[in-house]
Amino acid sequence: MEMTEKEATKFFAEFYNGEHHFPDKIKPFGLGWSIAHYGELASFDFDQMTTLVLMAHRDCVRVSVMRGKKPNTVQIALHKRAGRCGRMSERHPSIENIIAPDAAAELDRLKVVNAELLEACKAVLATIERADLGGKCLWIEPPYQASAVHETATERLQAAIANAQT
């Protein structure tokens, strides 16, 4: 995917804290853009490397750092990616996908659990509407266990209704 000069300028302006801090001119680089960076990139005490990586994952931009053409420089190149999905040359993962690669699978699992929980809650509410509590108050302690929450909640509610009816 082609990156515009305006997009590259915006990315580098954030990275360098303003265009007036650019160490060199932005130059075309294949379908992207590059800039000569003077000095080193580090992950701490001048955390520009970390900042660069986090920005890349946030903005779906492939960033590469190569040997510069001048002494004491590295070349930083940007290539825009289409999104989070697709072939390797088209996508760029979010930082969450890098830190927790199983997160997407876990989110899918939670969607199923939440759908089951919603159905269980609907059934419980229907049970409450049909129950004759004779004006008594119904108190149910919420379950905090992640496993079989919907079954535990249903069982607790049924027990509470039975206790209130007696």
The confidence score (pLDDT) of residue 137 equals 53
pTM passes above 0.75: no
Lowest-confidence range among 9-23, 57-71, 98-112, 152-166? 152-166
Alpha carbon distances (Å) from 60 to 3, 33, 51, 53: 11, 14, 14, 11
What lies within 8 Å, CB to CB, of 163 at 6+ separation is: none
23-74 pLDDT, tens per residue?
999 999 999 999 999 988 988 888 899 999 999 999 999 999 999 999 999 9
